[in-house]
A and B are shown apart, each in its own frame.
Chain A
Amino acid sequence: MPVIEVTKLHKRYGDLVAVDDVSFAVEAGEIFGVVGPNGAGKTTTVECVVGLRVPDGGGVSVLGLDPRRDAARLRQRVGVQLQESQLPDRLRVAEALQLYASFYRDPADPAGLIDKLGLGDKRNTAYKNLSGGQKQRLSIAMALVGNPKIAILDELTTGLDPQARRDTWGLIEQVRASGVTIVLVTHFMEEAERLCDRVAVIDRGRVVALDSPAGLVSTVVPEQRVRFRPSAPVDDRLLTDLPEVTAVHRTASQVVVTGTGDVLHAVTSVLARNQIIAADLRLEQSTLDDAFVELTGHRPAD
C-alpha cells in the first residue's frame, strides 16, 4: 500500500511546463529519491505533493488524502524541509523547535529531538550563529518535530561540507529506522546511491527511470572494467572468448577487460585455470552518477 501516489502530474507556470507527466508511488518505510538536473521539475513535483501548489492535471494522494482538500489533516502527518528555507536571525534553537512543536497535536519532545540531532549544546544559540550543518540539522528537526509519518526533504545537504553531509546521511538512516517514510529530493548522486531504496530520475518534467540505485546502474550502464597486472603473458583470445567480455585493452603493465554481468568471476576463473596470478586486481563499476549522465545527458551538478 503506497503512502504517496502521484499519477500523471502536470503543472505549468504560464507557458513554461514545469512538470509534464510524472507518476510514481512511494511505499511505506522506504527512502525514496527524486533526482534530476536543476529545472527538471523536482521541486514543483514535491510542492504539489505537500499541497503548496495546485496541479494543472493528474492526481496526488498522500496517506490516502488529497493535499489540497485535506490540507489540515495532511499537515499534521507530513513533515517538510524546503529548499533554502531559513529562520529569523535572533530565533534560538529551542525556541524554534518549541514553536513548531506547538502546531501539532502529537509532537515529539523538542528537547529530546535537539539532543538526538546533536544540537544539545546549541539550544540557546541564535539561528544566525549556527554553522551551515547545524542550521540544516535544525531544519531537519523542525520537519520531524510533528512526529510525521512522512518526511519530505528537499536538497538536504546542499552547501554542507563532506563531514557534515555524511553526518546528515547517518541521521536520515536513523529517522527511517524509526519508521518514517522519507522522500529525498537531491542532485547529489552519491547521496541518492548511499541512502535511497528507490530513485525516480526526473528530466524535463518526466520520469525517465525509476528503480533501485543498483538496478539503475546495472540496466543503464551495465559495463564494468577489470584491471590487473598478470604474472605471465596473457593471450587476448583467452579473455575475448569469454561471453561476459566485450573488449580487452592493454596499458604498459596492465590488462583492462571491459564486460558485463559477472565479468570479474569469469576473468579470474580463466586466469586461475592458466596458472596466471592477477596482481593489483581492481573492479571498476559504474556509479549512479554515470547512469544519471546516460539518462539525462547532464552532469549531476549542472
Chain B
Amino acid sequence: MHAFRQILRIEARLYLRDLPTLLSTVGLPTLILVVLGLIPALRKPDPNFDGQTFLSYFAPSLLVVTLAMVGVNILPAVLATYRERGVLRRLATTPANPAALLAAQLLLALSGIVTSAVLLILVARLAFGVPLPRDPVGFTVAFVLGTAALLALGLLIAAVARTAKAAQASALPLFLVVMFFGGVYLPRFLLPEFLARIGDYTPPGVQALLDAWTGTPPQPLHLAIMAGVTLAAGATAAKLFRWE
C-alpha cells in the first residue's frame, strides 16, 4: 500500500508535468463546447432535438471525446511505453509490485476523465444553460459503465501490444470507431438510423448518457452491454497482460 501511494504520487506528478496531454484530454471537450457555444443558432431550442438546443444534444458526444482519448489512446500508449522501456520489469525486481503502477495509471486516467466531465457539465450549465443531468443516478451509472468499458478496452490493447508504436497502431481503429459512433465526427441525427442505433451499443454508450442527461432512465440493455464489454475486455487483458 505504501509503495502504491508513492508510485501514485510520482505518476500524478508526471501526468501534471505533461501539459499538452493534460490539456488535450481534460480541456478539449470543454474547448469544443465553448467554440460551438459561440454560434448563436446552436444555443436555440430546436424541434429536431425534442426542443433542446444542439449543445444539450451534443454534450454527451463531447464526453465521448475524453473517454476515447484517455481510455483508448493515452492509457495503452503509456502502459506499452512503460513495458517497452523495462519500467515494469525493473519494478518487478524491487519490493514494489508492478501492478501498483498499473493501478496508479488507471486511477489517474479515471481522475482525468471525471475532471473533464465535471468541467464540461459545469461550463455547459453556467455558460450555455445546458441543464445538469436530469437523472443523476442513471447518468452516473451510464458514465461509470461507459468509462469502465473503454478503460478495459484500453487495457486490452496495452496487454497485447509489444511496443508503444504497436499500441498506438492498434488503438487507432478502435479510437475512430468510438469517436464515430459516439457522434463526435458527425452529430448522430445526421447519421443513417441504423448507424446511430449501432452507436447505442458501442462503448461508451452515448445514447444511455444522452437519455440520462435529458431525464429518461438509461435502457438496461445499453448498460448491460457496457458491463459485459468491461468484464470481457478486462478479464482478457488480465489474462494476456505481459509485464515485459
Contact = CB atoms under 8 A, between A and B. Distances in A.
A86 B94 contact: no
A76 interface: yes
Interface in A81-110: 82, 84-88, 90-91, 95, 99-100, 102-104
Nearest to A126: B17
Contacts of B177: none
Contacts of A91: 10, 14
Contact of A85 (B89, B95, B96): B89
B165 to A, nearest CB: 16
Given A85-B85, A87-B87, A91-B14, A99 B95 contact: no
A95 B6 CA distance: 10
B198 to A, nearest CB: 38
A76 B95 CA distance: 6
A50 B92 CA distance: 10
B87 A90 contact: no
30 contacts: A50-B93, A52-B89, A52-B92, A52-B93, A72-B95, A75-B93, A80-B90, A80-B94, A82-B86, A82-B89, A82-B90, A85-B85, A85-B86, A85-B87, A85-B89, A85-B90, A86-B85, A86-B86, A86-B87, A88-B82, A90-B14, A90-B17, A95-B13, A100-B94, A102-B3, A103-B3, A103-B6, A103-B94, A103-B96, A104-B94
Interface size for chain A: under 10, 10 to 19, 20 to 34, or 35 or more residues? 20 to 34
B7 interface: yes
A300 interface: no
A99 B2 CA distance: 11
B50 interface: no
A146 interface: yes
A72 B6 CA distance: 18
A143 to B, nearest CB: 9
Interface in B88-112: 89-90, 92-96
A72 B92 CA distance: 11
A85 B243 CA distance: 13
B143 to A, nearest CB: 30
A196 B93 CA distance: 24
Contacts of B10: 91, 95, 99
B163 to A, nearest CB: 13
A50 B93 CA distance: 7
Given A75-B95, A86-B85, 15 more contacts: A52-B89, A72-B95, A82-B89, A82-B93, A85-B85, A87-B87, A88-B14, A88-B85, A91-B10, A99-B7, A100-B94, A103-B3, A103-B95, A103-B96, A142-B90
B20 to A, nearest CB: 12
A95 B92 CA distance: 18
A125 B14 CA distance: 13
A104 B10 CA distance: 16
A117 to B, nearest CB: 17
Contacts of A90: 14, 17-18
List of 10 A-B pairs having minimum Cβ-Cβ separation, nearest first:
A85-B86, A80-B93, A86-B85, A102-B6, A85-B90, A103-B96, A75-B95, A103-B95, A103-B94, A90-B17
Nearest to B13: A95
Contacts of B17: 90
Nearest to B84: A86
B243 to A, nearest CB: 9
A75 B85 CA distance: 21
A71 to B, nearest CB: 9
B87 A88 contact: yes
A287 to B, nearest CB: 32
A82 B95 CA distance: 15
Interface string B41-85: 000000000000000000000000000000000000000011001
B170 to A, nearest CB: 22
A187 B183 CA distance: 57
A104 B87 contact: no
Contacts of A100: 94
Contacts of B94: 75, 80, 100, 103-104, 146
Contacts of A104: 94-95
A52 B6 CA distance: 23
A102 B6 CA distance: 7
A82 B2 CA distance: 24
Interface in B1-25: 2-3, 6-7, 10, 13-14, 17-18
